[in-house]
Structure 1
Amino acid sequence: MSDDAVSRYRQVYRRSLDEPESFWLEAADGIDWVSRPTRALDDSNPPFYRWYPDGELNVCFNALDRHVAAGRGGQPALHYDSPVTGIRRTYSYDELLARVARFAGALSSLGVEKGDTVVVYLPMVPEAVITMLACARLGAVHSVVFGGFAPAELAARIDDAKPKVVVSASCGVEPTRVVEYKPMLDAALGRSAHKPESVIVLQREQCPAAVGERDTDWEEMTWDEVDADAEPADCVTVAATDPLYVLYTSGTTGRPKGVVRDSGGYAVALAWSMGNLYDVHPGETMFTASDVGWVVGHSYIVYGPLLAGAATVLYEGKPVGTPDAGAYWRVVDDYGVVALFTAPTAFRAIKKEDSAAELVGRYDLSSLRALFLAGERLDPDTYQWATDALGVPVIDHWWQTETGWPIAINPKGIGLMPLKPGSPTVAAPGFDVRVLDDRGDELQAGQEGAICVRLPLPPGTLPTLWNDDERYVSGYLSTYPGHYLTGDGGHVDDDGYLFVMGRTDDVLNVAGHRLSTGSLEAALAGHPAVAECAVIGVADDLKGQVPRALVVLKAGVDAATDGELIRAELVARVREEVGPVAALRRVDVVSALPKTRSGKILRRTMRELADGGSPTVPATIEDAGVLDALAPVLRDGGGAVSPG
């Protein structure tokens, strides 16, 4: 960490904004093209900007074939590690290319062509990665739906994506149960207006499914049947502006909102980000503990590491319970991981089970150079715990499904800048981040407002929504003309560091004072007994809103004996660190917080329950039982202020 790193970052960042054409054309040298682009940006039809308009390529070729052609086919490409099934398997680049080319041939034999869509409804198994890359090989558009989504949600996505083929599995395997996918897929296809031509089912021994035994509008077959005799398929050339995939945003209700990812801009951005932001290079190993159903899985389990010629870990397990809170450290040790990327909620779960970080000492973590956290706000207490436990830089960073790669990060590959707990550091090159007030005026350092990105967005970000340009403009670009609305609020400090304090609809208005949930949660999380927490604003007749806190205590803390004392201490902490205007009086100790499968806490849903409403529960909820158990607590007293 030095002034040199800050200077290098500022030089790179300013060039990315002042000279985007030459900057991103130079970055395009990081991938192989069929027709190398002569232009970086097509800005002839704002706000619909397009990157590399005259470029042609194939993304699968860049992820696999070119590394094999360069003589690196024997190097590891994919480490499949499944503690829930006991299976581990490493695929070299040669092996993964052979599997992908053959399955691409299988899809081609079923009529899948350039521009067709394929819905992927698979657990964390190698076949999920193989299917995604096989689609890219054919120029087909994949749409991965998180494995285990309910039939109604899956049907809505099938109707929107209109796939020619659906690829699924007989089941998913969780630490304590087996989830049957095939009955949910059958139910989804039964209620969807669109019917695919073919359905491919990967049979898993934990729960095989009946396949091809019914008279349906589509042909059903197993993975082995369609894959066994397939002829390997060559790469199909696509335009850089052609779509690579459609990914529906988590928490979507009603009509799905499909984020479109283009081929050329995405390949360039991810290849550039691997070295410059994550400091991961060819032959090294990255472990992204996420799911291929989320954007993090698309970008940094599948495409990013493989585009860079690195090895990636596909982990079918949990941070705790498979078998214990040392699971991630075992993976780092086994595969020589240099960069670990996961969500703060995973580290809160680890901290809750192993608060003294005793399990860290059982493993050799000497290969690990950095921990990257994103997906939820990283509270300073979890940041400090991870820093102390691992002894490597803990890099908070912030991005969205829509952007495809980080908006803000400490750019380790350019140079590690001084770390500030609570901040994802600075805007990534290409992202012109501004904090605006309600009128659209830029705010000064320290003033909190809406975080926006000045157009055009850099390569790799969404060019539009799937078949819905109007919704793209109204949902993201209309509030502040010339800017992309992130939906998050925060501020920039005097050093240019960004602080993301939460979704703008999570800002509390207490007696005319605007308070972010992030500032209150940071105060609560600093208490030594708190594993994780959430603050919601509930309606109050006098003050408009008052904050209400829900906290989960660390393992070993006796809530029955010490709960009252802890609650009083938490109220005092908020009063001391945020101020009496916060008016926090009610703190509920709970066993767990409701979250999406990607780790986001369902604050809005809890707020609606506390206000007496009947919210629609997001399809992405991890465990509906947690919310059911919490509902009586949230409804108890509504927005009333209990004695402090």
Structure 2
Amino acid sequence: MSRYAETYASWRADPVGFWQQAAEQIDWFTPAKSVFNPASGVYGRWFDGATCNTCYNCVDRHVVAGNGDRLAVVYDSPVTGQVARYTFGELQDQVSALASVLRGLGVTKGDRVVIYMPMVPEAIFAMLACARLGAIHSVVFGGFAPQELATRIDDAAPKVVISASCGIEPGRVIAYKPLLDEAIDLSENKPDHCVILQRDTQLCDLTPVRDVDYAEAVETALARGEGTECVPVDATDPLYILYTSGTTGQPKGVVRDNGGHMVALKWTMEHHYDIKPGEVFWAASDVGWVVGHSWICYGPLLHGAATVVFEGKPVGTPDAGTFWRVIQDHGVAALFAAPTALRAIKKEDPKGTLIGEYDFSKFRTLFLAGERSDPATIEWAQEKLDRPVIDHWWQTETGWAMSGNPVGLGAFPVKLGSTGKPMPGYDIRVLDDAGNAVAPGTLGNIVCKLPLPPAGFPTLWNAPDRFISSYMAEYPGYYATSDAGIIDEDGYVFIMARTDDIINVAGHRLSTGAMEEVIGSHPDIAECAVVGKADALKGQMPLGLFVTNNGANRDESELERELVQLIRAKIGAVAAFKHAIEVKRLPKTRSGKVLRGTVQKIADGESFKMPAAIDDPAILDEISAALKAHNMIGEPV
């Protein structure tokens, strides 16, 4: 039996008491004067007056409790063939030594440090070392273009940048140091120092005076026994700044605080993900994204669980079985991945043949988030893995799940296409454009009633007015998620699309996500995207792009006719769906989000800015060529 309903009801009855009890799982230097202070900040602040240290809770307290020999970090890199494991005791040594190096470079409480790293354990050490000193880290996805990195350096004004000589991906090595050097040249705010991890795959030249060799400096500190204490900070002090992808305009620096963040993540590890201390949790993401912050670095370690740092891809390193190999080799209890990763695996191995080659004896649950999970992919994973597949929904701004299916409380029945029900802390509503509540099952704007729970962002870095205008002003008293969807009569949340992806066809508001769900149900389709293309008569018309499964070998025009008929049968003639074009790949961010807005601009013949987070810019040329071949650029459909 699921305890979800009674748990959610207990939060509704006493929100402050609920989070006060959850906070007992965290070690505080001094307790909060007010668990929730409604007069602080824009919508109130959590654990006002408390002092704490996030690194202490992630590392030191486990050592103090006698668990220093427990596994903490697993590094698995199929691109280099390396595997390394660190206990909590070894993690403490590495983090404390690096913190000593940073302190020696002038980093103190409240200073910013930009981390521009590949998926190596040193990226985790760097985040924790900043937290140890009370410094504020800002992780920028390794390999970001110089101009994008410079924008973030200018906004955060870091005292130090921690980086590496290179990043390694299937078939290519990305030299980070030249990108970093160019970014610093472009920046107004110059960091005092750069700490550079030299990787054997490709070394780099260090700039005299400014640059410090990571390994040499840390090894010297370890040899001398130099470390640091965990500096007390206010619970409401920033832990990190995480910039949104910034595909248009100035990126937004989401601020995360220390106290509420720890409370929420610790609660979630037990109650949502059903992980026990000592087990292995794997979030197959990157430290540059919020998933990497919450579920590669902080969440598992707060809970005393081990985390996996994976330097590879779901396919191509070396094949579509690499995820299953990691689960077997490291005894992973739960995997958190993006739906796009599962779709890539399904495309390469549609029959799931490789799954049977690996031992899943410790593997219990697959969690999905980051991109809409289509029912066809969930059904495939459920069948092939023979494990629960749990979709959930959250954002960079919230730091943890707004809706989900809390396995630790006993999972309730899954509804395909739904991201579950609201989690304690979140009062989720669906409003029309005028701010009025809509009936159950009606498409509208998803909002959360304020205040946001612990870990919710209190502001944007250096942009308090933009915080209000972007998130709080449109629906007063609510946080506007910019997602569109429905809540059904049973309380299940369905996220259908970003509000920008709701298209207007002859006055009818239609969800591109609903159309993608139908197209994705076709047995020959691996993945798809639907965008609204400008149309002189109807305003917009839906345009579908699709990628077929390996071995499908279908005629494109015949498949297009089948997809058009599917949309007509499932959604109706009102969708006016007439065109579906086969492409080799869909353009995505490096976290797996499909760049629908950019595809739409290409189809409309508009100029666009190259998305900073794009995985492979060459895909946009492929999309342009495919659309041009079908006379679909800039012409009315």
How far apart, CA to CA, are the structure 2 residues paired with 1:17 and 1:377?
28
How far apart, CA to CA, are the structure 1 residues paired with 2:217 and 2:363?
40
Amino acid at match of 2:409: I
How far apart, CA to CA, are the structure 1 residues paired with 2:18 and 2:411?
21
How far apart, CA to CA, are the structure 2 residues paired with 1:40 and 1:252?
37
Q: Which of 123, 129, 136 in structure 2 is aligned with 1:134?
A: 129
- Work out whether residues 540 and 639 of structure 1, in 8 Å CA contact, stay in contact via their aligned partners in 2: no
Q: Which of 211, 214, 231 in structure 2 is aligned with 1:220?
A: 211
Q: Which residue of 1 aligns with 2:162?
A: 167
Change over 3 Å in CA distance of 1:626–1:448 after alignment to 2: same
Q: Which residue of 2 aligns with 1:257?
A: 252
Q: CA deviation at 1:250?
A: 1.6
The C-alpha deviation readout for 1:387-438, integer Å capped at 9, x for no partner, is: 0010111000111111100111011111101001100110111011000011
Q: Secondary structure at the match of 1:103?
A: helix
Q: Secondary structure at the match of 1:52?
A: strand
Q: Which residue of 1 aligns with 2:28?
A: 33
How many residues align? The count is 631
Q: Which residue of 1 aligns with 2:546?
A: 551
Amino acid at match of 2:190: K
Q: Which residue of 1 aligns with 2:573?
A: 580
Q: Which of 191, 194, 200 in structure 1 is aligned with 2:195?
A: 200
Q: CA deviation at 1:252?
A: 4.1
2:529 is aligned with 1:534: yes
2:78 is aligned with 1:83: yes
How far apart, CA to CA, are the structure 2 residues paired with 1:45 and 1:228?
43
How far apart, CA to CA, are the structure 1 residues paired with 2:17 and 2:186?
50
1:415-564 residue pairs with structure 2 within 5 A?
Answer: 415-559=410-554, 562-564=555-557
Q: CA deviation at 1:640?
A: 5.4
2:610 is aligned with 1:609: no
- Work out whether residues 26 and 262 of structure 2, in 8 Å CA contact, stay in contact via their aligned partners in 1: yes
Q: CA deviation at 1:452?
A: 0.2
- Work out whether residues 342 and 372 of structure 1, in 8 Å CA contact, stay in contact via their aligned partners in 2: yes
Q: Secondary structure at the match of 2:627?
A: helix
2:97 is aligned with 1:102: yes
Amino acid at match of 2:567: V
Identical residues among aligned pairs (%): 54
How far apart, CA to CA, are the structure 1 residues paired with 2:444 and 2:136?
37
Change over 3 Å in CA distance of 1:46–1:186 after alignment to 2: closer
Q: Which residue of 2 aligns with 1:93?
A: 88
1:308-323 residue pairs with structure 2 within 5 A?
Answer: 308-323=303-318
How far apart, CA to CA, are the structure 2 residues paired with 1:478 and 1:14?
29
How far apart, CA to CA, are the structure 2 residues paired with 1:546 and 1:602?
18
Amino acid at match of 2:632: G
Q: CA deviation at 1:639?
A: 6.4
Q: CA deviation at 1:46?
A: 5.8
Q: Which of 577, 583, 589 in structure 2 is aligned with 1:590?
A: 583
How far apart, CA to CA, are the structure 1 residues paired with 2:43 and 2:519?
43
Q: Which of 565, 582, 601 in structure 1 is aligned with 2:558?
A: 565
Q: CA deviation at 1:45?
A: 4.1
Amino acid at match of 2:408: G
2:147 is aligned with 1:152: yes
- Work out whether residues 94 and 218 of structure 2, in 8 Å CA contact, stay in contact via their aligned partners in 1: no
2:329 is aligned with 1:342: no
Q: Which residue of 2 aligns with 1:72?
A: 67
- Work out whether residues 160 and 256 of structure 1, in 8 Å CA contact, stay in contact via their aligned partners in 2: no
- Work out whether residues 245 and 251 of structure 2, in 8 Å CA contact, stay in contact via their aligned partners in 1: no
Amino acid at match of 1:358: T
Amino acid at match of 2:456: T
How far apart, CA to CA, are the structure 2 residues paired with 1:177 and 1:47?
46
How far apart, CA to CA, are the structure 2 residues paired with 1:133 and 1:432?
32
Amino acid at match of 1:572: Q
Q: Which residue of 1 aligns with 2:384?
A: 389
2:343 is aligned with 1:352: no
Q: CA deviation at 1:637?
A: 2.9
Amino acid at match of 1:219: R
- Work out whether residues 315 and 344 of structure 2, in 8 Å CA contact, stay in contact via their aligned partners in 1: yes
- Work out whether residues 150 and 184 of structure 2, in 8 Å CA contact, stay in contact via their aligned partners in 1: yes
Change over 3 Å in CA distance of 1:226–1:254 after alignment to 2: farther
Q: Which residue of 2 aligns with 1:619?
A: 612
Amino acid at match of 2:595: L
User: Which consecutive unaligned segments of at least 5 residues does structure 2 have?
Assistant: none
Q: Secondary structure at the match of 1:199?
A: strand
Q: Secondary structure at the match of 1:229?
A: helix
Q: Secondary structure at the match of 1:440?
A: coil
TM-score by length of 2: 0.98
CA RMSD of aligned residues (A): 1.1
How far apart, CA to CA, are the structure 2 residues paired with 1:445 and 1:485?
19
User: Which consecutive unaligned segments of at least 5 residues does structure 1 have?
Assistant: none
Q: Secondary structure at the match of 2:185?
A: helix
Q: CA deviation at 1:36?
A: 1.8
Q: CA deviation at 1:254?
A: 3.1
- Work out whether residues 48 and 464 of structure 1, in 8 Å CA contact, stay in contact via their aligned partners in 2: no
Q: Secondary structure at the match of 2:123?
A: helix
Amino acid at match of 2:195: I
Q: Which residue of 2 aligns with 1:328?
A: 323
Q: Which of 115, 125, 129 in structure 1 is aligned with 2:120?
A: 125
Q: CA deviation at 1:320?
A: 0.4
- Work out whether residues 118 and 167 of structure 2, in 8 Å CA contact, stay in contact via their aligned partners in 1: yes
How far apart, CA to CA, are the structure 2 residues paired with 1:364 and 1:224?
36
- Work out whether residues 43 and 450 of structure 2, in 8 Å CA contact, stay in contact via their aligned partners in 1: no
Runs of 4+ that moved beyond 4 A: 639-642
Amino acid at match of 1:190: D
2:205 is aligned with 1:229: no
Amino acid at match of 2:279: E
TM-score by length of 1: 0.97
2:297 is aligned with 1:302: yes
Amino acid at match of 2:459: T
How far apart, CA to CA, are the structure 2 residues paired with 1:224 and 1:335?
26
How far apart, CA to CA, are the structure 2 residues paired with 1:118 and 1:638?
44
How far apart, CA to CA, are the structure 1 residues paired with 2:287 and 2:260?
20
Amino acid at match of 2:571: V
How far apart, CA to CA, are the structure 2 residues paired with 1:637 and 1:175?
33
How far apart, CA to CA, are the structure 1 residues paired with 2:635 and 2:518?
22
Q: Secondary structure at the match of 1:147?
A: coil
Q: CA deviation at 1:147?
A: 0.2
Q: Secondary structure at the match of 2:297?
A: helix
Amino acid at match of 1:97: Q
